[in-house]
């Protein structure tokens, strides 16, 4: 899935008015659609942790469908009413040239939220009942659909880059959602619905569990429009917003390596003997993604990627290369963030996750505010520094809040080793 953003940016950069269309996509459409979908992002974690039997699954399914309908209506209203002008002009202070293309892209992406919710909810079921490979195949369905439509749009020509990119992205996520829905059906019949009914899930219990997670994803994704709004008020706004999706797309590829660790920890931490294996794996994975990131950032591969593969103009490529280097620690920190977060979710102490995102936003907000106050630093550089320092403080807070759970798990495993054979 991490390839999706770079692929879209690479095609937009090869069509007409690339700087305007990249800025419209990365500065308005992408941040807004992610923010609107944010309340349902953690359905994957919730489903993995709670979908234990038929009654619980059906209760969570009804919640997912109803909430998705509401969020999809919000997305549509933002796209077709004066709300869009207020958000784009007033909140984001976007350059006027990118607003009309962004409005079209936002409307095309209307199916996004419901498709993501349906897919992530059922991915949680598949992971919980031992079918992670289906999730991987679904990702390939999404990527295949995306690439085919992007290449078709590029070959046909005549369409704005943001139209080609958003049509491909919307159709890809719908295709993946349909595939996951088809493949989860036998799992529901043969596994989920045959499980002995556990203690009924009460709505107050679910709300106390899910709301902190929902607020976490919302606050996390507030960063995207917050960063766009800040860059729109600093030096070189169009260049920064145009390079933003390209740089962040490549960063996301490396960060995505750690994203699945949250669900891995939730699934495995209850197993005896898992504490050391999960800790060591997380540390090695963090080191691996750091070295991989640097292997591109400090070598000619960076120039190849941004100038040749992403087809950025020389001035945008230079901006992107330095920004990517600034962000080098982020993928490694994301691994550890997901490790600590998975432990916290398992311990049902989800408030700590929300607190960590608040710490991230405060840190990033201070850096962005300083950049706006200075007014003489290119916005994308400030944004990368803000994101990196924010991730560092978030990681440290999660480490602090996860210590009781991790210590309990270590004590459990140590006690099991000391038992007589």
pLDDT tens-digit readout, 214-264? 887 887 788 888 999 999 899 999 999 999 989 988 998 898 888 878 778
3-state SS, 259-305, equals HCHHHHHHHHCCCCCHHHHHHHHHHHHHHHHHHHHHHHHCCCHHHHH
Name the band, by pLDDT with cuts 50, 70 and 90, for residue 418: low
Q: For residues 142 and 173, is the Cβ–Cβ distance under 8 A?
A: yes
Q: Is the pLDDT of residue 419 over 70?
A: no
> What are the residues facing 378 on neighbouring strands?
235
Among 84-88, 254-258, 299-303, the least confident range: 254-258
pLDDT number for residue 267: 76
Give CA separation, 243 vs 33, 321, 376, in Å.
Answer: 19, 10, 18
Name the band, by pLDDT with cuts 50, 70 and 90, for residue 177: very high
pLDDT number for residue 103: 97
Q: Tell me what percent of the chain is helix, strand and coil, each rounded to the nearest 5.
A: 85, 0, 15
pLDDT number for residue 357: 86
Q: Is the pLDDT of residue 421 over 70?
A: no
Tens digit of each residue's pLDDT (9 = 90 or more) over 99-146: 999 999 999 999 999 999 999 999 999 988 989 899 999 999 999 999
């Amino acid at each position: 899935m991490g390839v999706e953003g770079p692929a879209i940016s690479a095609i937009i950069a090869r069509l007409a008015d690339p700087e305007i269309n990249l800025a419209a996509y990365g500065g308005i459409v992408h941040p807004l659609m992610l923010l609107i979908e944010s309340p349902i992002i953690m359905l994957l974690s919730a489903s993995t942790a709670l979908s234990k039997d038929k009654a619980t699954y059906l209760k969570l399914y009804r919640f997912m469908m109803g909430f998705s309908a509401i969020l999809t209506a919000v997305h549509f209203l933002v796209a077709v009413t004066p709300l869009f002008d207020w958000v784009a002009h007033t909140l984001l202070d976007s350059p006027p040239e990118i607003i009309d293309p962004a409005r079209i892209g936002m409307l095309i992406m209307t199916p996004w939220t419901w498709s993501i919710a349906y897919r992530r909810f059922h991915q949680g079921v598949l992971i919980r009942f031992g079918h992670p490979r289906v999730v991987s195949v679904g990702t390939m369905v999404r990527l295949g659909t995306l690439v085919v439509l992007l290449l078709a749009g590029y070959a046909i020509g005549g369409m704005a880059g943001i139209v080609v990119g958003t049509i491909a992205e919307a159709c890809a996520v719908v295709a993946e959602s349909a595939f996951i829905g088809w493949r989860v059906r036998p799992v529901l019949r043969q596994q989920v619905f045959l499980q002995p009914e556990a203690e009924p899930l009460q709505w107050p219990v679910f709300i106390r569990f899910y709301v902190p997670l929902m607020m976490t994803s919302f606050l996390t994704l507030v960063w995207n429009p917050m960063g766009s709004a800040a860059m729109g008020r600093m030096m070189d706004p169009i260049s920064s917003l145009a390079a933003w999706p390209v740089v962040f797309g490549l960063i996301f590829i490396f960060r995505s390596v750690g994203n699945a660790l949250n669900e891995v920890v939730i699934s495995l931490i209850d197993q005896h003997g898992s504490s050391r294996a999960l800790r060591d794996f997380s540390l090695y994975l963090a080191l691996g993604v750091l070295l991989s990131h640097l292997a591109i950032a400090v070598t000619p591969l960076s120039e190849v990627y941004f100038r040749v593969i992403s087809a950025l103009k020389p001035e945008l490529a230079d901006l992107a290369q330095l920004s990517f280097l600034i962000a080098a620690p982020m993928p490694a920190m994301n691994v550890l963030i997901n490790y600590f977060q998975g432990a916290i979710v398992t311990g049902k102490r989800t408030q700590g996750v929300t607190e960590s995102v608040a710490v991230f936003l405060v840190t990033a907000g201070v850096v962005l505010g300083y950049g706006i106050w200075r007014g003489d630093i290119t916005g994308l550089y400030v944004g990368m520094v803000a994101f990196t320092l924010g991730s560092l403080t978030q990681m440290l807070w999660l480490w602090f809040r996860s210590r009781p759970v991790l210590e309990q798990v270590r004590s459990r495993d140590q006690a099991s080793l000391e038992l007589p054979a």
